[in-house]
Amino acid sequence: MSAALQIPLIWAAQKDPAPLQPPFIASAVNHIQKQPPKGDTQTAVADESTVEPTVTYAFYRKHTEKLLRRYLYASLQVGRSPNLLGDSIGRGWVSSRRVRTFEDALIFVLDVERCINRLSVADRQLISRIVLQEYTHAEAAELIGISTRSVCTKFPQAIDRLTEHLVKADLLILLD
């Protein structure tokens, strides 16, 4: 049996066929007929405008990973090993300008650590294994003790949560 489409035979035909309407015209006519009267259009527009768009940080994942690599480099420069599981030592502020002095680097490292410490332990493990230690997803899954599929779904979510914390701390500036 072949996989070809089989069309049934047509045994009869109408002598004067009605003019065919393309499906998009028929759907447009149905849509126009179902619209509310003119007085109700303002409430319909108000309902549509109150829906808030969902904010997603998926576009900024690579920027967050680059910032984490910069954090790794800066933490090694100031003589601290990147501590993903410890508490931050102090509180600091850093602007969007380049790190020029030792103090700027230290403040940057402490601010990033404060954002990282807001994550759950599982998120910190995923980020440290994949971004900082540069393991593959399969290797990280084996080291952490979860499936590779779980790593592939949880890692982007962890990066998005970290991006949110970095944005709130003004360490990562989103484009408008």
Q: Which residue has the tokens 């408008």?
A: 176
Calculate the dihedral angle through the C-alpha atoms of 153, 156, 158, 162, rounding to the nearest 10 degrees.
-170
Q: Show Cβ contacts of residue 168 under 8 Å, excluding neighbours closer than 6 positions.
A: none
Is pLDDT of 3 > 80? no
Q: How confident is residue 58, by pLDDT bands cut at 50, 70 and 90?
A: confident
Domain boundaries, the chain: 58-84+95-168
Span 36-63, average pLDDT:
66
**CB 171, CB 67: distance < 8 Å:** yes
* CA dist., res. 44 & res. 38, Å (int): 10
Can you give the pLDDT at residue 86? 44
The tens digit of pLDDT for each residue in 109-146 reads 899 999 999 999 999 999 999 999 999 999 999 999 99
Decide which of 2.60.40, 1.10.10, 2.40.50, 3.40.50 is the CATH code for 58-84+95-168.
Answer: 1.10.10
Dist CA 158 CA 165 (whole Å): 11
- Please indicate, yes or no, whether the overall pTM of this predicted structure exceeds 0.95: no
Please tell me the distance from the alpha carbon of residue 126 to that of residue 107, in angstroms, as a whole number: 24
Phi, psi of 6 (to 5 degrees): -105, 125
